[in-house]
A and B are shown apart, each in its own frame.
Chain A
Amino acid sequence: MEENKIGFKVVIVGGSAGSLEVLMKVLPQLTLMSKFALVFVLHRKSAEDSTLEELIAMKTVIPVKQVEDKTPLLPGFIYVAPSDYHLLFETHHQLSLDTSEKVNYSRPSIDVSFESAAEVYGPQLTGILLSGANSDGTNGLKVIKQQGGTVVIQDPATAEMPFMPRTALENVTPDFVLGVEELLQFINNIK
């Protein structure tokens, strides 16, 4: 029922220190997908630039859409949360931005995007939390779980900065704990 109403799945990858290395390994091997939208919420320096978007676009065959206010969210594309804004999800597949206070010392905050998307996409949402040295993402994963979504956490043993995935593991029961290779398989197998 939800599936018909929503139409497509959303996968959000949240990460901080050490997560870019994971993406650089995973991105070149991702296959084109038509069933879901892939959203990256990464802690980044608060300068206004598009280096991260360009770096990601260079590494993957999946097209990267520039995120602006009220950008439509479509399956088959990658979206990257812009620096210095929180990325929120509106109903009717629209992204919106917010400059309110930092959360977990971060803007964009992973919790903010996870929570916002969980309310709109419920069981159609997958949240993936990668390496990081901060506790962002844990509360958001809890909400994803409550709303029936899928929770994936990077195996802390494979994370350059294990603090973020470990904190999440201590507070949320994940559906999957995955190493980098497995993570790639997982994303490529989302139907």
Chain B
Amino acid sequence: MVNDRQLEVLINDVYEYHGFDFGGYSRASLKRRVDRLIQLDGFPDFAVFLSKVRSDAAYFKHMVEEITVNVTEMFRDPHFYKILREEILPILATKPFIRFWHAGCATGEEVYSMAILLKEANLLHKSLLYATDINPLVLDTAKKGIFQLRMIKSYSENYMAMGGKNDFSQYYTANYGLAKFSEDLSEKMVFSLHNLVSDGSFNEFDIILCRNVLIYFDKDLQERALQLFDDSLSKLGYLALGTKETIKFSSMQDRYEQIHKEKIWKKIK
């Protein structure tokens, strides 16, 4: 296993050689990802791995893709989607045009979930869903809207648990173990690379969803990301985080109002 000192050497060298800053990442999780990668790619020891990361740009790219956690699912936490559908969307519906930002969208399952909600609320035609991630590989998957068919059963259960009324199978076509989601859903999606560590605000949004991304950041980097979201939210816009994430310790919290006890905050000032 990689020790604390080696992990810091890796972080420093990655910054020095590639300008990529993992310095604000939570160490416990990062360490597990590095251990996993060293094992998966069969390196005999840390030194050999480090030298490859330093000298081989293609391998470094692969490392970034593997080190970030891309596990996601459709309608994760059905209760959250139920609140979105019943309480948030009816308010956003009064706008002529609705802008969404899914920050750290991974392979896009949450973006497609949102598109389904919007379609059922008859709002998709006037919505635009920006979805960003630092990992170009996952964005390619997200653009295609093709997910593993074996996951569909649990997605369909989540969909029903959040109060979905339609036959879930109408949204995809199944083939060779894969489910391809309808292009009607992806029509309003824009995918692009964006790094929450180093990139700035690029638009103004009515709702920003960033669920289970901040858990990989330390407090300082979380504060930076939250500031970026604050800069990118319109007044009375919403910020949605993961079920175990909070803005409670952030300097912006007094300008936000929490929706019930949900991890959804409304920007009030």
Contact with A along B70-94 (1 / 0, CB 8 A): 0100000101100000000000000
Collect the chain B residues with CB atoms within 8 Å of residue A67's CB. 244
A69 to B263, CA, bound (A): 13
Candidate in B28, B29, B77 with the most chain A CB atoms within 10 angstroms: B28
Stretch at the interface among A17-25, A81-89, A129-137, A168-176: A81-89
Partner of A85, one of B33, B218, B244: B244
Is residue B246 contacting chain A, with contact meaning CB distance below 8 A?
A: yes
Give the shortest distance, in Å, between B215 (CB) and chain A (any CB): 5
Contact with B along A62-81 (1 / 0, CB 8 A): 00000111100000000000
Establish whether residues A99 and B212, one from each chain, have CB atoms under 8 Å apart when the complex forms. yes
A29 to B32, CA, bound (A): 36
With A48-B79, A67-B244, A69-B245 given, is the CB distance from A100 to B27 under 8 Å?
no
With A96-B215, A99-B71 given, is the CB distance from A88 to B244 under 8 Å?
no
Establish whether residues B77 and A98, one from each chain, have CB atoms under 8 Å apart when the complex forms. no
Is residue A153 contacting chain B, with contact meaning CB distance below 8 A?
A: no
Establish whether residues B243 and A88, one from each chain, have CB atoms under 8 Å apart when the complex forms. no
Nearest residue (CB) in A for B246 is: A68
A69 to B1, CA, bound (A): 24
Collect the chain A residues with CB atoms within 8 Å of residue B27's CB. 90-91
B45-61: which have CB < 8 Å to A?
Answer: none
Band of interface residues on A? 20 to 34
Give the shortest distance, in Å, between B73 (CB) and chain A (any CB): 10
Q: How many residue-residue contacts, CB under 8 A, span A and B? A: 59
Partner of A48, one of B32, B71, B243: B243
Establish whether residues A98 and B244, one from each chain, have CB atoms under 8 Å apart when the complex forms. no
Is residue B14 contacting chain A, with contact meaning CB distance below 8 A?
A: no
Partner of B26, one of A82, A90, A120: A90
Establish whether residues B244 and A97, one from each chain, have CB atoms under 8 Å apart when the complex forms. yes
Collect the chain A residues with CB atoms within 8 Å of residue B242's CB. 69, 99
Collect the chain B residues with CB atoms within 8 Å of residue A98's CB. 28-29, 32, 69, 215-216
With A90-B28, A96-B28, A116-B32 given, is the CB distance from A101 to B245 under 8 Å?
no
Is residue B214 contacting chain A, with contact meaning CB distance below 8 A?
A: yes
Establish whether residues A69 and B32, one from each chain, have CB atoms under 8 Å apart when the complex forms. no
Collect the chain B residues with CB atoms within 8 Å of residue A97's CB. 215, 244
B226-263: which have CB < 8 Å to A?
Answer: 242-246
Is residue B219 contacting chain A, with contact meaning CB distance below 8 A?
A: yes
Is residue A10 contacting chain B, with contact meaning CB distance below 8 A?
A: no
Contact with A along B23-37 (1 / 0, CB 8 A): 000111101110000
Collect the chain B residues with CB atoms within 8 Å of residue A53's CB. none
A69 to B213, CA, bound (A): 11
Please name 23 pairs of A and B residues whose Cβ atoms are closer than 8 Å in the assembled complex, sorted by A: A68-B244, A68-B246, A69-B215, A69-B244, A69-B245, A70-B218, A82-B244, A85-B215, A88-B26, A88-B32, A91-B27, A96-B28, A98-B28, A98-B29, A98-B215, A99-B212, A100-B29, A100-B32, A100-B33, A100-B71, A101-B71, A119-B1, A119-B31
List 7 A-B pairs, minimum CB-CB distance, nearest first.
A88-B28, A100-B69, A69-B215, A98-B29, A68-B244, A48-B77, A97-B215
Interface residues of A (CB under 8 A from B): 48, 67-70, 82, 85, 88-91, 96-101, 112, 116, 119-120
Known: A68-B246, A69-B245, A119-B31. 18 other contacts (CB 8 A): A48-B77, A48-B79, A69-B214, A69-B244, A69-B246, A88-B28, A88-B32, A89-B28, A91-B4, A98-B32, A99-B212, A99-B215, A99-B242, A100-B33, A101-B71, A112-B32, A116-B28, A120-B28
